[in-house]
Chains A and B, each alone.
Chain A
Amino acid sequence: RFGQLSSGSDMAPDWTMKEVSTGTTIMAVEYDGGVVIGADSRTTTGAYIANRVTDKLTPIHDRIFCCRSGSAADTQAIADVVTYQLGFHSIELDEAPLVQTAANLFKASCYRYREELMAGIIVAGWDKRRGGQVYTVPVGGMLVRQPVSVGGSGSTYIYGYMDSNYKPNMTKDQCLRLVSGALSLAMERDGSSGGVVRLAAISETGVDRQVILGNQLPKWSTA
């Protein structure tokens, strides 16, 4: 099918009437002692790249981050709500919140408002009780913990790569290589993913962020 050759007015370009979306590739991996999370940096309105250096790795608390995919507005709004709720809860509790708590707060919002929202979120972080954890809250509002999770439009292309390259009990550096390799493969194939690779490693000692620029990404033998 060729689909629609044009939609809406021919006078205005399509990015004036398309919603801003983080069609994207996001990923998170647990290792012994923490988690590694990563994302591409492209935000699109239709065919136009509204932001080519987006930061899709959003802090929710000191040692808890979320990776956002789907509607940029929806995911920002949800993340703001959860940041507030988690911060309040942490003050009441007088200790650092659990990653599972943050994940459940995301799930609560994403499930209750599932008809209005378009948001796929991966929640990852470190806490004292269970160490590094990754929880995925895809569109619809399900919640499940996984040792490794990928999300966003580009994720379909890297399921095979991830299944074959992930092994349990990897080190932090192996995880960083797995995530940056997988993200660069997805960015090559998915039109809605691209730009730079943003990585973060979260552990007991804190959060270590890095950026890998386009020309420094791993290269593969065929384009």
Chain B
Amino acid sequence: MDSQIKGVSTGTTILAVTFNGGVIIGSDSRASIGGNYVSSKTINKLIQVHDRIFCCIAGSLADAQAVTKAAKFQISFHSIQMESPPLVKAAASVLKELCYNNKEELQAGFITAGWDRKKGPQVYTVALGGMLLSQPFTIGGSGSTYIYGYADAKYKPDMSREECLQFATNALALAMGRDNVSGGVAHLVVITEEGVEHVVIPGDKLPKFHDE
């Protein structure tokens, strides 16, 4: 459980959703120590590991930063050797290897999302023990428990970019509204063949619901 991590942790909400032509990866921006003190209100949990591949982190911030730094190096080295942009699956596998081989020491989970020429938009999740799974969309972090029902009900395959952006924004807003260790602003990155677009929605511009 995120709340048992010592040190700075991202009790958090992260998600990644594929749509027709791309993928959106999103997160909140709160980092807390033990769930009592917000050590950062504006942390960016969306790490770019290559031109069209991002990953987002949940769990111990220290572990996540160490792993993503190592993964970023390995992925760019692999890409140079292969003389082509890396596959999203390759990037996810690199993270998985690091998580699985160091599972005793690490407490971090990842979502990898991106676009490549072979399979288009993809989402992979690497769970705490090092399991790798490909899904059309995935949610993670402590805040995700509150939006399983919403995500199951509202997700449909092959959404448009706007529908997907609305889905991801609503999901983050709902989770941030119920989880006290998720909050701040909503960071969203839209990845397509054409490029990468970063959308930031400040807390007061997030969708509001019936009791707010």
A residues lining the B interface (CB < 8 Å): 156-164, 166-168, 181-182, 185-186, 188-189, 220-222
Q: Tell me whether A164 and B152 are in contact in the complex, defined as CB-CB below 8 angstroms, given that A156-B146, A157-B145 are known contacts.
A: no
CB distance from B63 to the nearest CB of A (A): 15
**Are A164 and B209 in contact (CB-based, < 8 A)?**
yes
A170 to B114, CA, bound (A): 41
| Residue among B171, B175, B211 having the largest count of chain A Cβ atoms under 10 Å | B211
**Are A160 and B210 in contact (CB-based, < 8 A)?**
no
| Residue among A159, A162, A185 having the largest count of chain B Cβ atoms under 10 Å | A159
Query: B175 touches which one: A160, A182, A221 (CB < 8 A)?
Result: A160
**Are B210 and A189 in contact (CB-based, < 8 A)?**
no
**Are A182 and B149 in contact (CB-based, < 8 A)?**
yes
**Are B150 and A161 in contact (CB-based, < 8 A)?**
yes
Taking chain A's interface residues, is the majority helix, strand, or loop, or is none over half, making it mixed? helix
Task: Across the interface, name the chain B residue whose C-beta is closest to A154.
Answer: B149
Contacts of A156 in B (CB 8 A): 145-146
Interface code B31-48, partner A: CB below 8 Å = 1, 0 otherwise?
000000000000000000
> Does B136 reach chain A (CB closer than 8 Å)?
yes
CB distance from A130 to the nearest CB of B (A): 19
Q: How many residues of B contact A (CB 8 A)?
A: 23
Contacts of A157 in B (CB 8 A): 145-146, 148-149
**Are A160 and B174 in contact (CB-based, < 8 A)?**
yes
Segment 131-167 of B: residues with Cβ below 8 Å from A: 136-137, 145-153, 155-157
A220 to B150, CA, bound (A): 10
Contacts of B177 in A (CB 8 A): 163
**Are B146 and A159 in contact (CB-based, < 8 A)?**
yes
Taking chain B's interface residues, is the majority helix, strand, or loop, or is none over half, making it mixed? helix
Contacts of B153 in A (CB 8 A): 161, 181, 185, 220
A162 to B177, CA, bound (A): 12
29 interchain pairs (CB within 8 A)?
Answer: A156-B145, A158-B149, A159-B146, A159-B149, A159-B174, A160-B146, A160-B147, A160-B148, A160-B149, A160-B171, A160-B174, A161-B147, A161-B149, A161-B150, A162-B149, A163-B150, A163-B178, A168-B210, A181-B153, A185-B148, A185-B149, A186-B149, A189-B148, A220-B152, A220-B153, A221-B155, A221-B157, A222-B137, A222-B152
Contacts of A166 in B (CB 8 A): 210
**Are A164 and B170 in contact (CB-based, < 8 A)?**
yes
A139 to B170, CA, bound (A): 30
A217 to B211, CA, bound (A): 28
| Residue among A156, A167, A182 having the largest count of chain B Cβ atoms under 10 Å | A156
Contacts of B156 in A (CB 8 A): 221
